[in-house]
Amino acid sequence: MLHTESIEKVHKYFTNLEKEEQWLQKKLDAGWLLIKYDEDMNDGTIYTFQQIDYNSQKKAVYKIDFRKFDDNEEYVDYIEIFSENGWHSLSQKGDEKHIFYTISEDASKDIFSDIESFCGREERIIQALFRNGMIYFGLLLMSIYIYVQFDKVFFIGVGLYAVFAMFKSLFSYISHKRSLKSMSIDKV
């Protein structure tokens, strides 16, 4: 039975998955094992940690991939490939961000076998950020239209939220584009 004082929930937003992995490692080094997460591309992630007692648990390594699955069989195959290579998933089929961990000393310390698969992850993130930015831009236009047509003040707040979320997506989009560009230059 878990005691509530041995559980910690943290809400954070990362635009860089490597920094997120490093933060998860620091939490683990401090004695907090990630047991669950709930992600939202624009609002960040709620991480649930459990306090650990054994140093052997601190040997875990976290890595993050970004991929969306529409087909359950494709998701199961994806998880099995990682499992066969010593990685355990904390994700669910509906997640786009997939956090993996390994405690196996035989497992590779990275989930990407080459620079192309790493670039693939960045490209998937860029596409999702662009999609989200367009959705928020549409929401902004719709809120402006409704406000002008029907004089509904509530939609000013909706529009402001859409602007905030749209810019957040835009800044993340630019950051990942730069990262992808630097990786492309490095591989030449």
Do 8 and 94 lie in one domain? The reply is yes
Domain that holds residue 38: 4-102
Do 136 and 172 lie in one domain? The reply is yes
Considering 67, 102, 137, which residue would you say is the last residue of a domain?
A: 102
Q: How many angstroms separate the CA atoms of 62 and 95, rounded?
A: 17
Q: How do residues 115-158 score in pLDDT, each as one tens digit?
A: 888 899 999 999 999 999 999 999 999 999 999 999 888 888 99
What pTM, to 2 d.p., does this model score? Answer: 0.80
150 located within any domain = yes
The total number of structural domains in the chain stands at 2
Q: How do residues 99-114 score in pLDDT, each as one tens digit?
A: 999 987 765 678 887 8
Per the CB < 8 A criterion, the answer to whether 16 and 122 are in contact is no
Do 11 and 98 lie in one domain? The reply is yes
Secondary structure (3-state) at 100: strand
Considering 43, 68, 102, which residue would you say is the last residue of a domain?
A: 102
107 located within any domain = no
14 located within any domain = yes
